Amino acid sequence: MPAIKQKQLYYDMVKQSAPKPRVWRNTFWAFVVGGLICLVGQFIIVFFRTRGLDVNEAGAATSATLVFLAAFLTGLGVYDEVSRFGGAGGIVPITGFANSMVAPALEYRAEGMVFGVGARLFNIAGPVLVWGIVTAWVAGILYYFFR
Amino acid sequence: MQFFWAFVVGGALCVIGQLLMDLTSYKFTPAHVLVTFVSAGAIISAVGLYQPLVNLAGAGATVPLTGFGHLLAQGAINGVKQHGLLGAFSGGITAAAAGITAAVVFGYLAALAFRPRS
Amino acid sequence: MAARQKNGKQTVWFQNPPVIISAASVVGSREGEGPLGKTFDRVVYDTYYGEKTWEKAEQRMMLEAMQKALEKANIQDSDIDFMLAGDLLNQIITANFTARALAIPFLGLYGACSTMYESLALGAMLIDGGFAERVLVGASSHYCTAERQYRFPTEMGNQRPMTAQWTVTGAGAAILSREGSGPVITHATIGKVVDLGQGDPQNMGAAMAPAAADTIISHLQDTSRNPDYYDLIITGDLGAYGKKLAVQLISQNGYDISERCSDCGILIYSPSQDVHAGGSGCGCSAVVTCGYLIENLISGKYKRLLGIGTGALLSPCSSQQGETVPGIGHAVAIEMR
């Protein structure tokens, strides 16, 4: 049998045998967990607003607070359970971003403060910052030329 | 009412992330979800469609990483408005500085304070 | 001219089948709480095992498994001619650093999760070839060290698909000897690297099943045996879905092994342990073989078994560069005489 045909046949076999991801269940919990994290964020925003911060300041303070909470829960070994259960509900909010920084930094601490903690903080945050900053920069440049 | 929309919009954005993970190839990892969300947020924000969502849902739109992209893009655009071309370079990170600094500092401190479990 | 002790393309047979005179296993808590918990020599509940890093913990487990095997055989490390061992970590540091602690001539092996069976096959060849009286073999893996090397840091939140497997924390070691009592190794079938184009690092069973099937079929053909010659045909770590695929591939070649086959990765955990498709890693086939399988050969539950160590030959680099995952399977026929 030619190799390509054999691979195609096997590909079909694997596709048949592998269980489908539990999309409905995963989606439901992603909605609930993600929604709850945003709801907590909303409470924090309102709290800072009542303390007299303006919209932008309250937003920044809320981000910082959520990041702190996520870093703390990651250190306690709780946040990975949140994402294991909630999937994207735990990954997509800024708390997931914080988790993706703390987790590798924590784990690679044995490799030292420079190459361990220092470098690994940006394992996943690095790509996120690169893509975010470049996209925003392009937006700024386009705005400059085409406003 | 904003609390309701914060829950629904925030949850819905996470559902999009979940579907991206479950229904695409295994090559699309959680890291890819984060990167996609930041860039998508910046693009949607640049064409002016993200701010209405923030007005409606508050944290429901700012807490997911699309909100981070929105912050960066609005920062760059406002930078251009105030400082011209140079603003495209300085505006984005300036706007997102609090979140980035918090993540770096708290991440660093957590790495010092805790030991990983399995 | 064909080699004197070789049958067919891949199988060697032993004139004086080397004896497995002792075997020992050390495992982590999840394995200890699993259905085979009682068959292991030691269960370690702390993932660090009192050490500073998980890597050091894994080394300590391998060292203890080897010392335990020596103790059970009632011999010293100076009685051993060669040590053959391997693990999953980069540059096989667990095996290398364990060998540093034992003053035994050492050959490091890497066959991914098939390493235990690679070491059994090579150890038996060294003995039957007249190059050694006694050989110490072993392999290990640790959930936390493997996870961060191959996938994500353990504290990072992500969802594992149902096809994902759980890396076994554990080390197994055995002593092969030209003389002595115990189960004997009669044949070894060295696997070819087989790749049917699977690339999903979260479905290793599917990547390895073709290699396992290829080796089992070659073994049966080379030895002119039927599957019913064996009481048990057991693969290393194909998991629930990989095993199904292997059985299917083998039946397409005219052999039915479905009634007498099993998989170490399926046996080691119970479904309630939320490990999804089953166990994996060098430690998986190592501790199940050195614990459960040897124990049941000695007790007489099994008379003849064919074990197939299965390995997925990927690296984080090859995965990120979009390469598919080649697999390998080494089979060793063990009999109680």
Complex-level ipTM: 0.94
Q: What is the pLDDT of residue B118?
A: 64
CB-closest option in B26, B117, B118 to C200: B26
Superfamily name with CATH number, domain C6-177: Stage V sporulation protein AD (3.40.47.40)
Subunits with 3+ Cβ pairs within 8 Å of C are: A, B
Tell me, yes or no, if B7 comes closer than 8 A to chain A by beta carbon. Answer: yes
Q: What is the pLDDT of residue B1?
A: 82
What would the pLDDT profile of C122-170 be if each residue is shown by its tens digit? 999 999 999 999 999 999 999 999 998 988 888 887 888 899 999 999 9
| Mean of the per-residue pLDDT values of chain B | 95
| Listed residue (C193, C202, C200, C137) closest to C167, CA to CA | C202
Neighbours of A65 (CB within 10 A): 17
Tell me, yes or no, if C160 comes closer than 8 A to chain A by beta carbon. Answer: yes
Subunits with 3+ Cβ pairs within 8 Å of A are: B, C
> Could you tell me the maximum CA-CA distance found in chain A, to the nearest angstrom?
74
Q: Between the CA atoms of A83, A88, A91 and A94, what dihedral angle is there, to the nearest 10 degrees?
A: -130
Residues 23-82 of C with CB under 8 A from B: 47
Return the domain boundaries, chain C.
6-177, 184-335
What would the pLDDT profile of B63-81 be if each residue is shown by its tens digit? 999 999 999 999 999 999 9
Q: What is the pLDDT of residue B117?
A: 78
Tell me, yes or no, if A83 comes closer than 8 A to chain C by beta carbon. Answer: yes
| Mean of the per-residue pLDDT values of chain C | 96
Per-residue pLDDT band at C234 (split at 50, 70, 90):
very high
Is the CB of B17 less than 8 angstroms away from the CB of A30? yes
Domains C6-177 and C184-335 fall in the same CATH topology = yes
CB-closest option in A31, A39, A77 to B3: A39
Residues of chain B with pLDDT under 70: 118
Residue of C nearest to A29 (CA): C159
State the Rg of chain B over Cα: 16
Rounded mean pLDDT of C13-25?
98
Whether C1 shows a pLDDT value over 80: the answer reads no
Tell me, yes or no, if B113 comes closer than 8 A to chain C by beta carbon. Answer: no
Q: What is the pLDDT of residue C157?
A: 79
Instruction: At C108, list the tokens.
Output: 């490091």
Residues 84-113 of A with CB under 8 A from C: 84, 87, 90-91, 96, 99-100, 102-104, 106-108, 110
Residue of C nearest to B18 (CA): C159
Alpha-carbon gap, residue A134 to A130, rounded angstroms? 6
| Listed residue (C57, C62, C36) closest to C47, CA to CA | C57
Residue of B nearest to C148 (CA): B118
CB-closest option in A17, A81, A107 to C153: A107
Residues 7-36 of B with CB under 8 A from C: 21, 26-27, 29-30
- Provide the whole-model pTM: 0.94
- How far is C204 from chain A, CA to nearest CA, in Å? 11
Residues of B in contact with C322 (CB under 8 A): 27
Q: Which helix (H) or strand (E) holds C78?
A: none
Residues of chain A with pLDDT under 70: 1
Residue of B nearest to C45 (CA): B118
In the Cβ-directed half-sphere of C23, how many Cα atoms lie within 13 Å? 29
* Fold annotation for C184-335: Peroxisomal Thiolase; Chain A, domain 1 (3.40.47)
Alpha-carbon gap, residue C182 to C283, rounded angstroms? 22
- How far is C153 from chain B, CA to nearest CA, in Å? 9
CB-closest option in B26, B30, B118 to C202: B26
Tell me, yes or no, if B1 comes closer than 8 A to chain C by beta carbon. Answer: no
Instruction: At C9, list the tokens.
Output: 């393309």
CB-closest option in C143, C152, C156 to B118: C143
Q: What is the pLDDT of residue B26?
A: 87
Residues of B in contact with C153 (CB under 8 A): 116
Please say whether the beta carbons of B38 and A128 come within 8 A: yes
Is the CB of C245 less than 8 angstroms away from the CB of A17? yes
Please say whether the beta carbons of A123 and B75 come within 8 A: no
Alpha-carbon gap, residue C5 to C223, rounded angstroms? 12
